[in-house]
A and B are shown apart, each in its own frame.
Chain A
Amino acid sequence: MSVATRLLGAPVDRLEARDKVEGRAQYAYEHEIEHVAYGALVASTIAKGRVRAVDTRDAVAEDGVLAVLTWEETPKLPKAAGELAVLQSERVSYRGQIVAVVVAESYEAASRAERLVHVEYDVEEHDVELRPDHPTLYKPDKVNPQFPTDTEEGDVDRGLGEAAHTIDLTYRTPGYHNNPMEPHATLALWEGDSLTLYDSTQGAYAYSETVAQTFDMPRERVRVIAEHVGGGFGSKGTPRPHVIAAAIAARHVRRPVKVAVTRQQMFALTGYRTPTIQRLQLGCDAEGRLTAIAHDVIEQTSTVDEFAEQTAVVTRMMYAAPNRRTTHRLARLDVPTPSWMRAPGECPGMYALESAMDELARASGLDPIELRVRNDPSVDPESGHPFSTRNLVACLREGAERFGWQPGGRRDGRTLVGMGVAASTYPARKRPSEAHARRNDDGTFTVQVGAVDIGTGARTVLAQIAADTLDVPLERVHIEIGDSAFGNAPVAGGSAGTSSWGAAVVQACRVLLTGEDEAHVETESSDEPLAKHGYGAQFVEVRVDVDTAEIRVARAFGLFACGRILNPKTARSQFIGGMTMGLGMALLEESRVDPRFGDVVNHDLAQYHVPVNADVPDIDADWIDEDDPHINPMGAKGIGEIGIVGTAAAVANAVHDATGIRIRDLPITPERLAPALMQAADS
């Protein structure tokens, strides 16, 4: 049974838009509270070793400084694990790790005193460089979140041997850092044994669980509130070390404490996408049917924790071939632990796979769309399950038509013009969630769900879902989100937020329709034997200046098949936002590491280039009609991440189409393109 359609599918404005524009929406750091103190994080200036001594005298002598916490006076938290074991030992595992926390009466005093904390170290030799032959490479037990590390079917070597056309190529992606507009921030408040966190998080309930576990206290005694969040992209999907630092500091000074991570500190403390080295071997017969697919990935984790990005997992599902292999190997480096970044796994994996498909198409003389169509599987090659819906071919064909797909490259004066295409995909998930609905005396309804709107429009879409289910105007629904007290609800991540919260809201509202005045529901996960994914096709036209090697995206278009689109206005923002981030991945973004110091050198927005408006002059996204009844009652698939999947390949393929030059090492900057381009221009 699906819900009625009246508000669902309508381009409803964001409910909180006016509050945000007028500055009334309160973000974590902006909550005002009496007697608040301010924390500043002291970061290690070595990449590996031990804190030998911390001289806090100058810092403590500063006006307004309340305390300086080092590992020695910080109470031990035996349950604290990985990156959240803040100030638990003298060990330094990466440059930028928290080695002390200053608490002061003002932000200014705290940040000034931070520079007056003198830390002495016993320095050990560090290694922060990912190399294909790194001596620490190992096979993790699983890759994120629970996938087999390696898979093998048939005999790849034989499949390649039998192929009419083969490619064997290695693609590299650098580290990428999430840079949401709102840096991470926390206000921690202890009342007795209970902790309240006003936090910039993607998951209020999940944070309450993890923080409670870290402090070894019942989850009910940790409340996390996140009314408005200025972006996360995965970096706020798990509590970062500053959250624990704020809570430790607040308990120590017996006052509420605010901690804001600086933009520079984000490059060490708030996670990033691992660099990858990906070898792709593909073979196809004379008709373009794949005979072998192999995707072997090398990436990194830290000595603090294991994070195994599931980079090649998407290749297990994307195309069929009788002989297939995927592997993942990790190097343990003296770096911060990688973490979630928009479409973890799919994003870097599809860059390599969809670049390789383009190269195979050229090797076999097929149009890249045709090659993909010929290899579109009828069932999931990995599980053998049918797809709930899979409309990749429709996206490719209709998208090509609407974009005006005419590859082959052309010259326009001193500019080379080319087109590229790539497929997009992302899993369509639904996770268990609670929701609460109540009929009010004035004829309105209050719906509570522990969702977080990180800028996606989730609050608005949830109100639409509730209003449609109750068959009342939107104005009669009060939607309340962003509070762990509303019960278990999954993070705004994995493109599962709206799908999961929405399903619970539907269920709660349906109880009211039976005449009840109040309902609290908890949905369950389903394990239908179906492969559930969204799909899309992205088309890009680039212009490359032959003299300056500058690459500009002239047009980008994505056509997606993601079930029912619940709000076209906010959905379009999600799609083109993801695509824009993908353009940045392709052409601009790169966390540049100085191996001698061990940290990211370009650690601010002036040096770490994310795209600006001028980089995306003509970008659009649309979708085809699809209603997938197997995901949730709304018939929708999550759309938060699919926009970034495939974009970088489409851009790289377009650059090749324009110039004849293939750069397999992202990002494709003038620095990387110029040498070959200028050689080609001269010949």
Chain B
Amino acid sequence: MEPFAYRRATTVDDALTTPGATFLGGGTNLVDLMRLGVAAPDRLVDVSRLNAEIEETDGGGLRIGAGVRNNDLAFDGRVRERWPALSEAVLAGASGQLRNLATTGGNLLQRTRCSYFQDVTKPCNKREPGTGCPARDGDHHNLAILGWSERCVATHPSDMAVALAAFDAIVHTSRRLLPVVELHRLPGDDPARDTVLEPDELIVAVELPPLQVARSSTYRKVRERASFAFALVSVAAAYDGADVRIALGGVAHRPWRATTAEQAIRDGKSFREAAEAELAQAEPLRDNAYKVELATRTIVRMLEELAS
């Protein structure tokens, strides 16, 4: 690990007084990356103790501070009642110990677990732009089927972000408000950038607007190991007969809001037709075509369960 300066911020304004700083939340991903040599920040500003509250907003929404720990979010009674898929998604991630540390803001900004990205002895366009993407023709059985580019086929690992994407959550940064579905980028020509955040821009909260259909929602994470594994595919779905929200995880460089499927259902198509319409955009890699049918069937299954 490279030496670095560490400072614990007392306020958001204080956090922003160190130019070029890297913000530290729970450290459950960043510290790993520092140990691996993938990340080597000069200056760490610890923001994990800021914005640790969940507050009601007008009209029945919630404002979740960026410093709220994952377990505190998952076990919040209001979240479990009004956005159950969000609680389920958070609990589907990592382990109890990690969730006690990991923060809401940090969870959104965790980095891909692509093997090549995490191994500094190998090329990776995300880690070292221009060196190439060995995953494209390498071990990519659990990488992207949607929205990838020749430069990067990584997936975003968060479960929480998938549920937030389904629920039209809004990210509050130190500079602006941003729909969560616009926070993460597709890799395109610049896979080094996971998000649209600018340097020295800090996530301070995530807002959940009131959403009736979210009360009838669920999260399903498909994985080899029953716990403590990243998703092969995951689905956050909300459906109450009148309204529908669907987002996918484990399939793209960002949480994938399934707007095509949602529109198809509004147009009266069957769940299967809707799911197929969404996955018609998929371009599987050599070894991950199984994910297309897996995602399709899991969408249908979740919607059927919510409908019954």
A666-683 contacts to B (CB < 8 Å): 667, 669-671, 674-675, 678
Bound Cα distance from A667 to B225, whole angstroms: 12
Smallest Cβ-Cβ distance to A546: which chain B residue: B297
A601 touches B115 (CB 8 A): yes
Proximity string of chain A (540-554) to chain B, C-beta cutoff 8 Å, 1 when within and 0 when not: 000000011110100
The verdict on A612 contacting B226 (CB below 8 Å), with A547-B300, A548-B297, A671-B141 known, is yes
B294 touches A549 (CB 8 A): yes
- The CB with the most chain A CB atoms within 10 A, among B2, B224, B227, is that of B224
Bound Cα distance from A552 to B223, whole angstroms: 11
A360 to chain B, nearest CB (A): 29
A79 contacts partner chain B, Cβ-Cβ < 8 Å: no
Chain A residues near B298 (CB-CB < 8 A): 547-548
Smallest Cβ-Cβ distance to A678: which chain B residue: B293
Smallest Cβ-Cβ distance to A609: which chain B residue: B225
The verdict on A671 contacting B290 (CB below 8 Å), with A548-B222, A678-B297 known, is yes
Proximity string of chain B (269-308) to chain A, C-beta cutoff 8 Å, 1 when within and 0 when not: 0000000000000000001101001100110110000000
B41 contacts partner chain A, Cβ-Cβ < 8 Å: no
A115 touches B37 (CB 8 A): yes
The verdict on A612 contacting B227 (CB below 8 Å), with A592-B139, A607-B113, A671-B290 known, is yes
Proximity string of chain B (24-41) to chain A, C-beta cutoff 8 Å, 1 when within and 0 when not: 000000000000010000
A550 touches B223 (CB 8 A): yes
A101-133 contacts to B (CB < 8 Å): 108, 111-112, 115
Smallest Cβ-Cβ distance to A63: which chain B residue: B3
Proximity string of chain B (128-141) to chain A, C-beta cutoff 8 Å, 1 when within and 0 when not: 00000010001101
The verdict on A671 contacting B232 (CB below 8 Å), with A594-B134, A596-B138, A607-B113 known, is yes
B138 touches A588 (CB 8 A): no
Bound Cα distance from A550 to B234, whole angstroms: 13
Bound Cα distance from A60 to B305, whole angstroms: 63
B196 contacts partner chain A, Cβ-Cβ < 8 Å: no
A169 to chain B, nearest CB (A): 23
B229 contacts partner chain A, Cβ-Cβ < 8 Å: yes
B204-222 contacts to A (CB < 8 Å): 220, 222
B121 contacts partner chain A, Cβ-Cβ < 8 Å: yes
A interface: dominant SS: loop
Bound Cα distance from A609 to B139, whole angstroms: 15
Bound Cα distance from A611 to B226, whole angstroms: 8
The verdict on A675 contacting B290 (CB below 8 Å), with A547-B298, A602-B139, A607-B113 known, is yes
B134 to chain A, nearest CB (A): 7
The verdict on A613 contacting B227 (CB below 8 Å), with A592-B139, A674-B290 known, is yes
A606 contacts partner chain B, Cβ-Cβ < 8 Å: yes
Chain A residues near B115 (CB-CB < 8 A): 601-603, 607
B225 touches A615 (CB 8 A): yes
B1 contacts partner chain A, Cβ-Cβ < 8 Å: yes
Proximity string of chain B (79-118) to chain A, C-beta cutoff 8 Å, 1 when within and 0 when not: 0000000000000000000000000000000000101101
A547 touches B301 (CB 8 A): yes
B121 touches A45 (CB 8 A): yes
The verdict on A594 contacting B139 (CB below 8 Å), with A115-B37, A547-B298 known, is yes
Smallest Cβ-Cβ distance to B301: which chain A residue: A547
A547 touches B297 (CB 8 A): yes
A674 touches B293 (CB 8 A): yes
B227 touches A601 (CB 8 A): no
Bound Cα distance from A45 to B37, whole angstroms: 15
Contact of A111 among B1, B119, B232, B287 (CB under 8 A): B1
Chain A residues near B229 (CB-CB < 8 A): 609
A467 to chain B, nearest CB (A): 39
Contact of B1 among A112, A607, A670, A678 (CB under 8 A): A112
A104 to chain B, nearest CB (A): 13
Proximity string of chain B (161-192) to chain A, C-beta cutoff 8 Å, 1 when within and 0 when not: 00000000000000000000000000000000
A304-363 contacts to B (CB < 8 Å): none
A614 contacts partner chain B, Cβ-Cβ < 8 Å: yes
B266 contacts partner chain A, Cβ-Cβ < 8 Å: no
Bound Cα distance from A603 to B37, whole angstroms: 15
Chain A residues near B228 (CB-CB < 8 A): 612, 614
Contact of B134 among A597, A607, A675 (CB under 8 A): A597
Proximity string of chain A (66-88) to chain B, C-beta cutoff 8 Å, 1 when within and 0 when not: 00000000000000000000000
Bound Cα distance from A613 to B134, whole angstroms: 34
Bound Cα distance from A43 to B120, whole angstroms: 12
The verdict on A611 contacting B294 (CB below 8 Å), with A112-B1, A594-B138, A597-B134 known, is no
B224 touches A588 (CB 8 A): yes
A596 touches B225 (CB 8 A): no
B114 to chain A, nearest CB (A): 10
A414 contacts partner chain B, Cβ-Cβ < 8 Å: yes
Smallest Cβ-Cβ distance to B293: which chain A residue: A678
Proximity string of chain B (1-27) to chain A, C-beta cutoff 8 Å, 1 when within and 0 when not: 110000000000000000000000000
Smallest Cβ-Cβ distance to A667: which chain B residue: B224
The verdict on A670 contacting B290 (CB below 8 Å), with A547-B301, A601-B138 known, is yes
Chain A residues near B220 (CB-CB < 8 A): 548
Contact of A548 among B118, B139, B294 (CB under 8 A): B294
Bound Cα distance from A112 to B223, whole angstroms: 35
Bound Cα distance from A506 to B297, whole angstroms: 62
A587 contacts partner chain B, Cβ-Cβ < 8 Å: yes
- The CB with the most chain B CB atoms within 10 A, among A587, A588, A606, A669, is that of A606
Bound Cα distance from A597 to B113, whole angstroms: 19
Given A111-B1, A552-B226, A612-B226, 12 additional A-B pairs, CB 8 A: A108-B1, A264-B119, A547-B297, A597-B134, A601-B138, A601-B139, A602-B115, A607-B113, A615-B226, A667-B224, A669-B224, A670-B294
Identify 21 residue pairs between A and B in the complex whose beta-carbon atoms are under 8 Å apart, listed by A's number: A264-B119, A547-B297, A548-B298, A549-B290, A552-B226, A594-B138, A594-B139, A596-B138, A603-B115, A607-B115, A609-B225, A612-B225, A612-B226, A612-B227, A614-B226, A614-B228, A669-B224, A670-B222, A670-B232, A671-B288, A674-B293
Closest 4 CB pairs of A and B: A614-B227, A614-B226, A547-B297, A548-B222
